[in-house]
């Protein structure tokens, strides 16, 4: 019986800015920087990681997805992709979503907002939410939604998850929803998000374990932890997730390339067993790939 | 207040066996009206700051606690030692208790409960008692408090991590009129049930604990000193 593939469920690759691969530049993605899929594959091979989810970075337009699409075409059995949607298209996203998912290997879209009433005491009608057309189309086309939303919207996710039980939802990075003004970049060029220890996520995104169509990604520790690898201050979160979501709805990820230098891809490949030493072998296998294989429908390796 | 208003033998037995007691009408009449007015006033006054805290990722949007209420209106101090339940706190802590804090809380409507079943502290923690006072009427299915009777006792459980709150075996739910107080031992498993009524639940949760040396920094509540005008209150706040 073949072993379960090990799947890194979240990271980014990008090319230098060229006519072939246009993209937006930012502080940690300057035009001359490249983090190629081949470089990623060398790290994956060294840690016995078979497959990975490539999450679009560098712009929302179809043209700016060129490098992601190139990678998916080049290695169709190794990678799947998550795309982005321009905010201007949120009202009528169907054409954009269809163009990017039509046989390309892109299986869903990442959202940074939900777009409902900001006051939790206001009446809720999900049909008025900014991203409702995206959820509706994801339901129609069986697409995945990849959520890393702003803190103000954290409580709104549940309304849409409740309304669309058929949509597969992946909550990013331990369920943290970044607060306004809390982001910065550290000395290694990694995103850093200041969070409070008794985190609002306990009462918003973490509660989504109630819904069978929601999975949680164990990633991003480096951005939130106040301690170095293996981030012991977040180990309790992981243990709680095992009890609430269960291993069959948890996915390990590294958030490459930000972690290549510190703490290193190889270390992150051991993070789950480092900070949850009591984990059972079948749980570890699920978190390290089984859940991603099933929930995200990764292809069989050739 | 007198010790005579404390627990009867039957109530003490229920406390020891089940871990909770219910006091209907614990706060009523003019005091309840004062409490409701102060609650609503300060909830409105502090809401914008809460929303800023939510946007900054510092506060949850699924419940709203008015901060620092003891400084805002004396009615919040007056409810700390209401004889109807305070004499029971006194009795169960052998007249040696401290006040840990208050949560003056409104829970907006949400598709599920804002927390799952949980105990607050482990049984090796000093006795830890909460009194939850409903500020508005809380119907069944209106976010009411629920508790697993007996779950506070040593050796009880284990209890399952249920996704559906109603799947917890043996639990009891406590709807109640405004002014009802539910006292419970927080070693036990409890939760706020889902709210399908369309009315946000308003309640105040008061937390007391068996005194242990050094637990309270006397300076923490020094600013309230002029209002702590009884020996009980000064003791509750660690000032004697």
What ipTM describes this predicted complex? 0.94
Query: What pLDDT, on a 0 to 100 scale, did the predictor assign at position B169?
Result: 97
Please spell the DSSP secondary structure of A152-173, one letter per residue. GGGGGHHHHHHH-TTSEEEE-G
Residues of chain A whose pLDDT is less than 50?
A: none
Sign of the CA dihedral A171, A173, A179, A181?
negative
pLDDT for the residue B3? 43
Q: Does B48 touch chain A (CB under 8 A)?
A: no
Nearest to A215 by CA among A180, A253, A182: A253
Q: What is the pLDDT of residue B2?
A: 40
Cis peptide before A9 (omega within 30 of 0): no
HSE value, Cβ hemisphere, 13 Å, CA-based, for A289: 20
CA distance A253 to chain B (A): 23
- B101 touching A (Cβ < 8 Å): no
Amino acid B5: pLDDT: 78
In DSSP notation, chain A reads -PPPPPEEEEE--BPPP-SSS----BTTB-TT--B-HHHHHHHHHHTT--EEEEE--S-SSTGGGHHHHHHHHH-TTTEEEEE---GGGTTS-HHHHHHHHSSSSEEEEEES-----SSTTS---GGGSTTHHHHHHHHHHT-EEEE---GGGGGGHHHHHHH-TTSEEEE-GGG--PPTT-EEE-TTS-EEE---SS-GGGGTGGGGGG-TTEEEEE--HHHH-SS-TT-GGGHHHHHHHHHHT-GGGEEE---BTTTTTTT-HHHHTTHHHHH-TT--HHHHHIIIIIHHHHHTTPPPP-
Question: Do the beta carbons of residue A184 and residue A160 sit within 8 Å?
Answer: no
Q: What is the pLDDT of residues B163-202, one digit of tens each?
A: 899 999 999 999 999 999 999 999 999 999 999 999 999 9
Nearest neighbour of A244 by CB, restricted to B63, B161, B200: B161
In sequence order, what DSSP letters do the residues of B160-228 get, joined into one string?
---SSGGGSTT-EEE-B-TT-EEEEETTS-EEEPPB-SSS-EEEEEEEEEE--TTSS-TTTTGGGGGG-
> How far apart are the C-alpha atoms of A138 and A141, rounded to whole Å?
5
Cβ contacts of B61 on chain A, cutoff 8 Å = 120, 152, 154-155, 200, 204
pLDDT digits (tens, 9 = 90+) for A51-102: 999 999 999 999 999 999 999 999 999 999 999 999 999 999 999 999 999 9
Angle at A12 between CA A9 and CA A15, to 5 degrees: 150
Q: What is the pLDDT of residue A95?
A: 98
Question: Cβ–Cβ of B59/A200 closer than 8 Å?
Answer: yes
Query: How confident is the model at residue B218, as a pLDDT?
Result: 75
Task: Report, as an integer, the average pLDDT of B8-15.
Answer: 97
User: Which tens digits make up the pLDDT trace of B222-237?
Assistant: 888 888 888 888 989 9
CA separation for the pair A16, A33 (Å, rounded): 5
User: Which pLDDT value is given to residue B214?
Assistant: 79
Burial readout B160-194 (b: 16 or more C-beta within 10 A, e: otherwise): ebebebeebeebebbbbebbbbbbbbbbbbbbbbb
Q: Measured between beta carbons, which residues in chain B are less than 8 angstroms from residue A151?
A: 54-57
Choose, out of A117, A120, A205, the residue to mutate when testing the contact with B (most B CBs < 10 Å): A120
pLDDT at B9: 97
- Of the partner residues B56, B109, B112, the one whose CB lies closest to the CB of residue A210: B112
Question: What does the alpha-carbon distance between residue A19 and residue A24 come to, in Å, rounded to a whole number?
Answer: 12
Contacts with B185 (C-beta within 8 Å, 6 or more apart), sequence order: B15, B19, B20, B127, B128, B129, B152
Helix H or strand E segment including B22: strand B20-23
Q: What pLDDT, on a 0 to 100 scale, did the predictor assign at position A3?
A: 85
Alpha carbon distances (Å) from B5 to A188, B56, B205: 65, 46, 22
Q: What is the per-residue pLDDT for B222?
A: 86
Distance CA(B112)–CA(B121), nearest Å, equals: 24
Residue B213's pLDDT is: 82
Cα–Cα distance for residue pair A212/A169, rounded to 1 Å: 9
Does B1 score more than 60 pLDDT? no
Judged against a pLDDT cut of 70, whether residue B4 lies above it is answered with: no
DSSP string for residues in B93-151: TTT-EEEEEEEEEEE---SS-SS-SB-SS-TTS--EEEEEEESS-B-TTBS-EEE-TTT
Average of per-residue pLDDT across B120-147? 97
Nearest beta carbon to residue B51 from set A118, A154, A200: A118
Q: Residue B96 region, left (φ>0) first, then alpha (ψ -120 to 50), else beta?
A: beta
């Amino acid at each position: 019986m073949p072993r379960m593939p090990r799947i890194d469920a979240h990271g980014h690759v990008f090319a230098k800015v060229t006519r072939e691969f246009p993209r937006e530049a930012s502080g940690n993605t300057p035009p001359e920087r490249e983090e190629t899929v081949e470089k990623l594959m060398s790290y994956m091979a060294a840690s016995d990681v078979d497959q990975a989810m490539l999450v679009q970075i560098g712009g929302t337009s179809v043209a700016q997805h060129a490098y992601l699409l190139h990678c998916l075409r080049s290695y169709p059995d190794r990678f799947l992709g998550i795309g982005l949607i321009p905010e201007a298209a949120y009202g009528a996203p169907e054409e954009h979503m269809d163009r990017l998912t039509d046989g390309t290997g892109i299986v869903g879209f990442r959202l940074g907002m939900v777009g409902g009433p900001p006051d939790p005491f206001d009446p809720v009608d999900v049909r008025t939410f900014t991203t409702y057309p995206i959820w509706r189309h994801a339901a129609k086309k069986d697409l995945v939604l990849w959520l890393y939303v702003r803190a103000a919207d954290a409580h709104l996710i549940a309304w849409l998850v409740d309304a669309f039980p058929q949509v597969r939802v992946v909550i990013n990075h331990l369920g943290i929803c970044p607060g306004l003004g809390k982001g910065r970049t550290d000395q290694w060029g990694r995103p850093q998000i200041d969070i409070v220890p008794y985190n609002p996520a306990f009462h918003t995104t973490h509660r989504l374990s109630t819904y069978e169509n929601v999975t949680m990604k164990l990633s991003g520790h480096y951005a939130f932890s106040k301690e170095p690898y293996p981030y012991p201050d977040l180990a309790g979160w992981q243990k709680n997730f095992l009890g609430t979501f269960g291993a069959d709805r948890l996915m390990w990820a590294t958030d490459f390339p930000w972690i290549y230098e510190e703490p290193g891809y190889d270390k992150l490949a051991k993070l789950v067993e480092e900070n949850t030493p009591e984990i059972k072998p079948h749980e570890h296998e699920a978190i390290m790939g089984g859940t991603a294989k099933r929930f995200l429908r990764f292809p069989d390796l050739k | 207040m007198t010790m005579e208003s404390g627990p009867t033998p039957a109530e003490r037995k229920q406390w020891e066996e089940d871990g909770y007691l219910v006091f209907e009408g614990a706060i009523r009449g003019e005091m309840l009206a004062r409490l409701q007015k102060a609650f609503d006033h300060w909830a409105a006054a502090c809401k914008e700051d809460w929303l800023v805290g939510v946007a900054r990722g510092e506060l949850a949007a699924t419940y709203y606690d008015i901060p620092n209420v003891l400084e805002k209106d004396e009615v919040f101090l007056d409810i700390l030692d209401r004889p109807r339940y305070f004499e029971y706190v006194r009795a169960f802590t052998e007249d040696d208790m401290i006040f840990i804090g208050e949560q003056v809380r409104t829970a907006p409507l949400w598709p599920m409960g804002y927390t799952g079943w949980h105990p607050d502290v482990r049984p090796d923690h000093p006795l830890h008692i909460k009194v939850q006072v409903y500020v508005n009427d809380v119907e069944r299915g209106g976010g009411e408090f629920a508790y697993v009777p007996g779950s506070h006792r040593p050796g009880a459980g284990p209890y399952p991590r249920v996704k559906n709150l109603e799947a917890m075996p043996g639990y009891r739910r406590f709807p109640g009129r405004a002014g009802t107080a539910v006292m419970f031992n927080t070693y036990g498993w409890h939760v706020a049930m889902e709210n399908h009524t369309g009315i946000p639940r308003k309640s105040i949760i008061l937390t007391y604990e068996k005194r242990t040396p050094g637990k309270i920094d006397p300076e923490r509540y020094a600013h309230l000193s002029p209002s702590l005008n009884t020996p009980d209150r000064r003791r509750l706040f660690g000032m004697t």
